[in-house]
Amino acid sequence: MPDPVVDVQQLSRSYGRTQALKQVDLLVRPGQVYGLVGANGAGKTTLIKHLLGLLRAQQGQVRVFNRDPVREPVPVLQQIGYLSEQRDLPEWMRVDELLRYTRAFHPGWDADYAAELLDTFGLDPSKKIKELSKGMRAQAGLIAAVAHRPQLLLLDEPSTGLDALVRRDILNAIIRAVADDGRTAIFSSHLLEEVQLMSDRIVMIDAGQILLDGTLDDLLECHHTFVVDTRNAPIDLVNLPGVLSSEDHGPHSKLVCEHPRVNHEELLANGAQIIQARGATLTEIFVARAGRTQVGKMQQTDEVAMS
């Protein structure tokens, strides 16, 4: 098995009283696209910043290419392409100056690829960054991030500002090209359909903790959605082990379940009448998982308050 590109162990980080990451473990193997999924403030950007060495680990360990990105920034960052969420590129630079400048730090710069991407996006290289729209800035940043064909591509909310066409076709093509070359891409997003479209593996993060880490196929396979009629059920089905969430729609309920633990037979045995059964979407899985965490937190708070 090849060496992991990223090895995060027991990583914790807090900003004042806010715990941004709690004992996160993550192992990223080469040649795959990782979708980092989470709500706003879940800790996606904090995790990415640790991989870049832009944040020093307060607890735990971060290794990228088997190196510490804080102690050895040069060899690590040379192999990484990064597009930040803020797109904070120097406004006084022209697009061609940005590429020229970035090129100097990356010996493996592919000028033809950069020119091809410039052409694809239709970006004017003589324009200053400050004259570009938000989407164009994202495109310029994306070219600067991928043109040296990095071993690890880190994209923080890459689709922000990009139109649907660029998002669906070009961004997907760029990320797939990285993975097909045997390199690795990690991108964060809260657009779950997009993540489902592009990723090989999903890392679901919520409130600084990793809820799920697995291949997309496994994840989809082991989560099912049942629409059931619960009027005749003697017990509340949401209390069944393996039922992650329940959403009431009049006489019917939509249950998102972990598949091997909850199946047709079990639901029927508990008095539910199954109206529809299908594989869960990523959005349903995320909402069920994240909602469960929130409910758990609220219950804990209630218990503390009661005691």
Neighbours of 216 (CB within 10 A): 18
Interface stretch with other proteins, choices 67-75, 169-177, 271-279, 297-305 (CB under 8 A)? 67-75
Helices 111-121 and 134-146, axial angle in degrees (round to 10): 160
Residues 145/155, Cβ–Cβ less than 8 Å: yes
18-28 sheet: strands from edge to edge = 18-28, 6-15, 59-64
For other proteins, the binding residue among 126, 215, 299, 300 (CB under 8 A) is 126
Instruction: Tell me if 20 sits within 8 A of 46, measured CB to CB.
Output: yes
Partner residues linked to 295 by β-bridges? none
Compute the least distance from the CB of residue 85 to other proteins, in Å. Answer: 8
Measured CA to CA, the distance from residue 152 to residue 5 in angstroms comes to 8
Of 68-76, 218-226, 229-237, 293-301: span binding other proteins (CB under 8 A) = 68-76
Q: Please say which residue, 74 or 306, places its beta carbon nearer to other proteins.
A: 74
Q: Between residues 152 and 216, which has the closer beta carbon with respect to other proteins?
A: 152
Residues in 71-90 that interact with other proteins by CB under 8 A: 71-78, 80, 82, 84, 86, 88-90
307, with CB counted inside 10 A (0-12, 13-18, 19+), is exposed
Q: Which residues of 92-106 are buried (b: 16+ CB within 10 A; e: fewer)?
A: ebbbbebbeebbeeb
Near other proteins by CB under 8 A: residue from 29, 63, 103, 149 = 103
53 touching other proteins, by CB under 8 A: yes
Closest approach of other proteins to the CB of residue 99, in Å: 8
Which of 5, 8, 55, 288 binds other proteins (CB under 8 A)? It is 55
Identify which of residues 72 and 200 has a Cβ nearer to other proteins in the complex.
72
Pick the closer one to other proteins by CB: 88 or 218: 88
User: Which of 133, 199, 186 has its CA nearest to residue 160?
Assistant: 133
8 Å CB contact between 57 and 9: no
CB of 114 to other proteins, least distance (A): 10
Closest CB to other proteins among residues 7, 97: 97
- For other proteins, the binding residue among 4, 31, 60, 125 (CB under 8 A) is 125
Binding site for other proteins (CB under 8 A): 49, 52-56, 70-78, 80, 82, 84, 86, 88-90, 92-93, 96-97, 100-101, 103-106, 111, 125-126
